[in-house]
Structure 1
Amino acid sequence: MTRPSIRRLRPRLFCLVLLVITLSACATVSKDWQLQKEQGELKYYTRMGPVASLPEFRATVEVDAPVDKVMNFLMDFGRHAEWVHGCVQSSVIAMDDFSTAYIYQVTKLPVVSGRDMIMLAKITRDDQSKQVAINLTAMPSYCDNNPDGHCAQTQNTRYVRVERATGTFLLTPRGAQTRIEWTQFIDPAGALPDWLVRANLSQVPVKSLRNLKEIMESGDS
């Protein structure tokens, strides 16, 4: 290659390197939590999820209730329909012990067909910090070979079964208060446009934690 050709190529190489660096930086930023909404103490964040076109969310709030009270209420899965936005049915399918349960939930949100999911809930507690984590993982095939008993309710074909979802309620004691951090990714399955998923997604954690805070501080729990 001649020297003039090299000189003409250098600006193109520089632009290409700059483009690669810029794209890499954008990818890095998109993996960080971005604040989307703030309503008083309640904050709602999103970031790129494990499926590129779908975000995962994080919502935080502090409630005037001790951590044990919040933990016991969250683990009362039969009452989730009272405060989780869009949840119209919630029940325990099986419980191995207090720390492990299989739950079934049905969610109905505007415009889209109803969704149902079977989730494994596991609770852990740090003895030193007293921090509590309730981890949720979708188990769509849990009832496939067990249609009797509590599993019978999961055989309703009117709903679209959620195949992929993970989430965590992290409860951190702050004296007489508790900080709740709810992180979740969910692939709603079915043929839904991304904009509709995002629109519904932003409503669920904000309205749910607002409801939860109201219940915790009203004494109705």
Structure 2
Amino acid sequence: MTTSTTTIIEPRSRDADRSQLAILAAARDEFARYGLAGARVDRIAENAKLNKRLIYYYFTSKDDLFLAVLEGAYADIREAEKQLHLTDLEPAQAIRRLTEFTWDYYIAHPEFITLLNSENLHQAKHLTKSERIREMNSPLIQTLGNILERGRSEGIFRGGIDPVQLYISIASLAYFFLSNNYTLSAVFDRNLMTAKAHSERLSHTCDVILGYVLRG
């Protein structure tokens, strides 16, 4: 008796790139909707319109695919931040622009929040393995640090501000409100999902951040 095995031949480069992009797009939607635990490779393959074996060929496992999706999500927001050209702005304007951008980006990309929620449930076990994540986040912190130092030297900002702490504050003021929107609306009996509520929140966030960095 002979047994047959199926061999996957690596596609040509252009087809391979197209296939990986399709897999990552389908996987992002799947992980954002169901989380890592609930996501199914069969559904990812179906939505990507590709053979499931190709997913394992390129990404080895569901965990590795999830990490690739997380890295892609961070790469997207970091690339969008570069387009702000923050170093060309006055220090206070740069901080406001980053704050506004972060809010707007989270609104436009709710999958970013749900992907991070899922990774936090797993105690960041995937991101801790990624050198790429640390490399892509370092330039943002360096840029923010330079803006803070420029503002301090011009007498606009107070000194001693940690750029990492500041960025966490900017991100968290948007992230917490949006990721907990339903529960906050229920607890305070106020619809926090309206355009008016979002506008008020952004205004409040900018006031809090700028109130912290500006000299009194």
TM-score (norm 2): 0.20
The structure with more helix, counted as a fraction of residues:
2
TM-score (norm 1): 0.20
